[in-house]
Structure 1
Amino acid sequence: MKTRTLPVALIQDRAVIDRGAGNAEANLAQIEERVAQAATDGARLVLLQEIHNGPYFCQHESVDEFDLAEPIPGPSTDRLGRLAAKHKVVIVSSLFERRAAGLYHNTAVVLEADGSIAGKYRKMHIPDDPGFYEKFYFTPGDMGFEPIDTSVGRLGVLVCWDQWYPEAARLMALAGAELLLYPTAIGYDPDDDQAEKDRQRESWIVSHRGHAVANGLPVLSCNRVGHEPSPLGAAGVDFWGHSHVLGPQGEFLAVAGDGPEILMAEVDLQRSEDVRRIWPFLRDRRIDAYDDLLKRYRD
């Protein structure tokens, strides 16, 4: 049986929380250290967590937070591009994009191993929940579900809240993605009891395993960790970590804990072909009977 192995690294980290001007600088410096270590350990693909340049600012609604946004290309993509070229790795980043005055996106950018921008994806599904007020900041993506071609493979990049939608994973798979990748920022309300915390975390993991199984693809999900206080004086968020790498049958290839960690794994891209031969879900789809999926609800 043939193999095509790709060494990957997920940088699960605690944000440097400093709402001053040096916030992005401090977090990017931390990322540079982690990526250097991941490359030394053999990684060729590095996945970063969602909105990695600072704390998760969407816990409140404030027009001042828009000052954190930047154009793409811009300062962060320039710096991450140099980092990718230095270590000859592909980096999947997650940035607050300023597209125009009053128009902002939550955008994943893929930096090729030569430092160039291979492509980007604008988050399509935008949540609006207590502590996660993203609709105030982010316009839903308008680039569709298009994989990004890189030197390490065709990447189906999605972002956090997208992870709850099987349609997003399926459309990436139908467009030829070889892996599904999710930069993520998800955590508990510290006031929830332990049973509720466990249910939420396990539901999140199960959703990713479902995407892997249903599409016969590896799935990489990189979460952040640590407590981040709310600017509103509320309980804040405890980001639960547990980043993971799954194989195309939903099997765990690597799982992180709840602290900062460089999670390493080797993904065999050939296994997707082998699994899809024994579980030919794409072959057996009844595309002639799915018209109602385009409805909000069947009244």
Structure 2
Amino acid sequence: MIVGLVQQQNQADTAKNLKRLERNIRQCAEQKAELVVLPELHNYLYFCQTEDTEQFNLAEPIPGPSTEYFGALARELNIVLVTSLFERRAPGIYHNTAVVLERDGSIAGKYRKMHIPDDPAYYEKFYFTPGDLGFNPIETSVGKLGVLVCWDQWYPEAARLMALAGADMLIYPTAIGWELTDPADEQQRQLDAWMISQRGHAVANGLPVVAVNRVGHEADPSGQTQGAQFWGVSFAAGPQGEILTKASSKLEENLMIEVDLAHSENVRRIWPFFRDRRLDSYDELTKRYRD
């Protein structure tokens, strides 16, 4: 299967972001992509740098305008499309939601981000209610997609539960970057840890991983920080953690990669981690901490 990864830099004008997303999706389809993955919250600037109730006006229902827009593109181009939207579920209830659109433009399924960060310049707990749809792969014409979102990347439990539910691939729409006051060696450690963690999920579960990040600098509207420098480096890894493709840390890019889903079974035959799991000894995992 050919997979397209869209690494894009956003601006304040949502209409322009949508047009550029459309252009990039079309370019991927022209290169025979059957599955295209977009970054986290791709329609807008990353508004979570501040706590501002006006930003809730960006949210929309699902189905809604964005699923109509991207669904029409998926139908025209005959692709499966992974989008990432700010969902207005009800007054006062908003989610960070990935929506997968099928080749016919219909909604194949959605995933609401489960792990919600709350760090300087990443004030997501102010905006997003934790997900309540569980860790369930989305059935599509290109396979069962284990779609998770950004902060979920750091949690092996999320990857494992998707794999145990039959996911053929793990997909992470992402918006992650550096605090510019961090020294260069600390920035490199953060980036390395991000890649190592996800490659580890690929190895531990015998599945390919696709992570698609935004790129570029976005100013802090409050002026309290130097803003976020999204580090790009969108990548795909195979089921042994091998890097299949990787974008730069500075440029907008559309990456194309061929993923062989059948390869996962061969890897699991030589590394049968699922066979050797000690189910009788994992009860303590449901505790916050073992005092």
- Which amino acid is 1:171 matched to? L
Of 82, 92, 99, the residue aligned with 2:89 is: 99
CA distance in 2, matches of 1:72, 1:184: 20
Aligned residue for 2:230? 239
Q: How many percent of aligned residue pairs carry the same amino acid?
A: 64
Q: How does 1:67-82 map to 2 (within 5 A)?
A: 67-82=57-72
Aligned residue for 1:280? 272
CA distance in 2, matches of 1:25, 1:175: 37
Using the size of structure 1 for normalisation, the TM-score is: 0.96
Of 4, 11, 22, the residue aligned with 1:9 is: 4
CA distance in 1, matches of 2:76, 2:24: 13
CA distance in 2, matches of 1:100, 1:133: 20
Aligned residue for 1:3? none
RMSD: 0.5
- Which amino acid is 1:48 matched to? L
Question: Does residue 33 of structure 2 align to residue 33 of structure 1?
Answer: no
Aligned residue for 1:64? 54
- Which amino acid is 1:126 matched to? I
How many residues end up aligned between the 2 structures?
289
Aligned residue for 1:177? 167
Q: How does 1:63-142 map to 2 (within 5 A)?
A: 63-142=53-132
CA-to-aligned-CA distance 1:230-260 (integer Å, 9 cap, x gap)? 0110210000000001100000110111210
CA-to-aligned-CA distance 1:118-156 (integer Å, 9 cap, x gap)? 000000000000000000000000000000000000000
Using the size of structure 2 for normalisation, the TM-score is: 0.99
CA distance in 1, matches of 2:75, 2:85: 19
- Which amino acid is 1:290 matched to? Y
CA distance in 1, matches of 2:201, 2:222: 35
CA distance in 2, matches of 1:152, 1:28: 25
**By how many angstroms is 1:26 displaced?**
1.4
Consecutive unaligned residues in structure 2, runs of 5 or more: none
Question: Does residue 194 of structure 2 align to residue 199 of structure 1?
Answer: no
- Which amino acid is 1:280 matched to? P
CA distance in 1, matches of 2:38, 2:267: 28
Q: How does 1:124-163 map to 2 (within 5 A)?
A: 124-163=114-153
CA distance in 1, matches of 2:164, 2:174: 23
Aligned residue for 2:245? 254
**By how many angstroms is 1:28 displaced?**
1.1
Question: Does residue 263 of structure 2 align to residue 271 of structure 1?
Answer: yes
- Which amino acid is 2:257 matched to? A
- Which amino acid is 1:137 matched to? Y
CA distance in 2, matches of 1:148, 1:220: 15
CA distance in 2, matches of 1:231, 1:28: 22
Aligned residue for 1:226? 216
**By how many angstroms is 1:92 displaced?**
0.3
Aligned residue for 1:208? 198
Question: Does residue 284 of structure 2 align to residue 292 of structure 1?
Answer: yes
Give SS of 1:129's match. Answer: coil
**By how many angstroms is 1:24 displaced?**
2.5
CA-to-aligned-CA distance 1:47-102 (integer Å, 9 cap, x gap)? 00000001000000000000000000000000000000111010000000000000
CA-to-aligned-CA distance 1:232-289 (integer Å, 9 cap, x gap)? 1021000000000110000011011121000110001011000000000000000110
CA-to-aligned-CA distance 1:149-173 (integer Å, 9 cap, x gap)? 0000000000000000000000000
Consecutive unaligned residues in structure 1, runs of 5 or more: 1-5
Give SS of 1:268's match. Answer: coil
- Which amino acid is 2:288 matched to? R
